[in-house]
């Protein structure tokens, strides 16, 4: 029997989850972006479908594990639309037997997934420097799937707005049914060739967007060509605790790609975040993205600060 116990986390546990997430990541890669309260709130709610995380307690810490401080946090994020699970595992690096804790946490995620949906594929993510998690997942039969970069651009005061070509304009996305429907349409088109994409019904997609705790409506824009929306950028406040902005999503429909619109959207975000007095803007990018997004980001000054990878385990 494992010395570790798993207890469902409550909203009141946010501070402990925040501590565990950032302690884990800092021990693995001090250069990796940290997580703030809004980011942890989204994590605990479930990144796609609703889910519940679990705090991990060490039975050797105290006679009553529930009365001791948690040593880990795990959460299994389901995505019913794609029939996938995305496990998250964070362990306190100060624990004496970190390897045993990591193994127990990962095994709990695998077992929990088998109880909920035994045929769904599991796709955990971890920093590329997280040797212990990589070893643990590999020992259980998980294989490498994909690599992603975390990019950042330092901001100076007064970064300029982009010069728009004739017939091109930028406007804010309003929280109206019409604009949200247009946003969904643009997203489904622009991401349709991306790895792992599967169409999502409009109502569900909009719900997921407007319920995000990290959502920043003042930084959400359309790019219009001849009066028609052909691109978009969505911002998030998840790096506010580091005085930073965050590009959550950026897309240009296939019929309008190759015209430099992605660069214009990024330049707008740079100016927007600079105008708020922020010192940087961050984003993540898939290194296998065939749309040359990494090259576009580098052209406007984004640089890699850390990297993470996704593993997979097929079942059923």
The predicted pLDDT at position 316 comes to 74
The predicted pLDDT at position 290 comes to 55
- Residue in 191, 40, 48 with CA at minimum distance from that of residue 123: 48
> How many C-beta atoms lie closer than 10 Å to residue 94's C-beta?
9
pTM: 0.93
The domains of the chain, with CATH numbers, are 4-141 (3.40.630.30), 152-308 (3.40.630.30)
Look at 7-21, 165-179, 258-272, 286-300 and tell me which has the smallest mean pLDDT.
286-300
The predicted pLDDT at position 292 comes to 58
CB of 57 closer than 8 Å to CB of 4: yes
How does the average pLDDT of the chain come out, rounded?
94
The predicted pLDDT at position 64 comes to 44
Confidence label for 271 from pLDDT (cuts 50, 70 and 90) = very high
- Give the contacts of 234 (CB within 8 A, at least 6 positions apart): 173, 183, 209, 215, 219, 220, 247, 248, 249, 250
- Beta bridge mates, 89: 74
Percent residues over pLDDT 90 in the chain: 90
> How many C-beta atoms lie closer than 10 Å to residue 83's C-beta?
13
Q: Which DSSP string corresponds to 105-141?
A: HHHHHHHHHHHH-TTSEE--EEETT-HHHHHHHHHTT
Per-residue pLDDT for 40 more than 90?
yes
The predicted pLDDT at position 12 comes to 96
The predicted pLDDT at position 67 comes to 54
Per-residue pLDDT for 65 more than 50?
no
Per-residue pLDDT for 61 more than 70?
no
State how far the Cα of 130 lies from the Cα of 6, in Å rounded to an integer: 22
pLDDT tens-digit series, residues 104-159: 999 999 999 999 999 999 999 999 999 999 999 999 999 999 999 999 999 999 99
- What residue ranges in the chain does DSSP mark as E strands? 4-8, 53-58, 72-79, 84-91, 121-122, 125-127, 143-154, 168-172, 221-225, 228-236, 244-252, 280-286, 303-312
pLDDT tens-digit series, residues 17-26: 999 999 999 9
Per-residue pLDDT for 66 more than 70?
no
State how far the Cα of 41 lies from the Cα of 39, in Å rounded to an integer: 5
């Amino acid at each position: 029997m494992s010395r570790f116990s798993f207890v469902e986390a409550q909203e009141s546990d946010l501070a402990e989850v925040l501590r565990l997430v950032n302690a884990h990541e800092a021990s693995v890669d001090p250069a990796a972006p940290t997580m703030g309260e809004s980011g942890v709130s989204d994590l605990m709610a479930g990144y796609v479908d609703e889910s519940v995380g679990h705090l991990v307690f060490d039975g050797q810490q105290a006679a009553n594990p529930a009365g001791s401080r948690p040593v880990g946090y795990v959460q299994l994020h389901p995505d019913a639309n794609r029939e996938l699970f995305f496990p998250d595992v964070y362990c306190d690096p100060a624990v004496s037997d970190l390897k045993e804790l990591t193994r127990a946490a990962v095994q709990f995620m695998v077992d929990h997934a088998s109880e909920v949906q035994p045929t769904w594929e599991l796709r955990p993510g971890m920093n590329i420097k997280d040797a212990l998690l990589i070893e643990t997942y590999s020992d259980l039969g998980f294989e490498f799937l994909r690599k992603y970069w975390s990019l950042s651009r330092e901001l100076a005061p007064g970064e300029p707005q982009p010069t728009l070509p004739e017939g091109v304009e930028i406007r804010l996305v309003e929280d109206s049914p019409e604009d949200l429907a247009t946003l969904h349409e643009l997203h489904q088109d622009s991401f349709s060739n991306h790895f792992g994409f599967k169409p999502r019904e409009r109502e569900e997609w909009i719900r997921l967007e407007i319920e995000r705790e990290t959502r920043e409506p003042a930084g959400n824009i359309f790019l219009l060509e001849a009066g028609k929306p052909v691109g978009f950028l969505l911002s998030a406040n998840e790096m506010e605790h580091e005085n930073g902005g965050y590009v959550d999503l950026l897309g240009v429909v296939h019929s309008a790609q190759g015209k430099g619109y992605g660069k214009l959207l990024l330049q707008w975000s740079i100016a927007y975040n600079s105008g708020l007095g922020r010192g940087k803007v961050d984003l993540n990018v898939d290194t296998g993205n065939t749309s040359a997004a990494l090259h576009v980001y580098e052209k406007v000054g984004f640089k890699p600060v850390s990297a993470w990878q996704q593993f997979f385990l097929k079942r059923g």
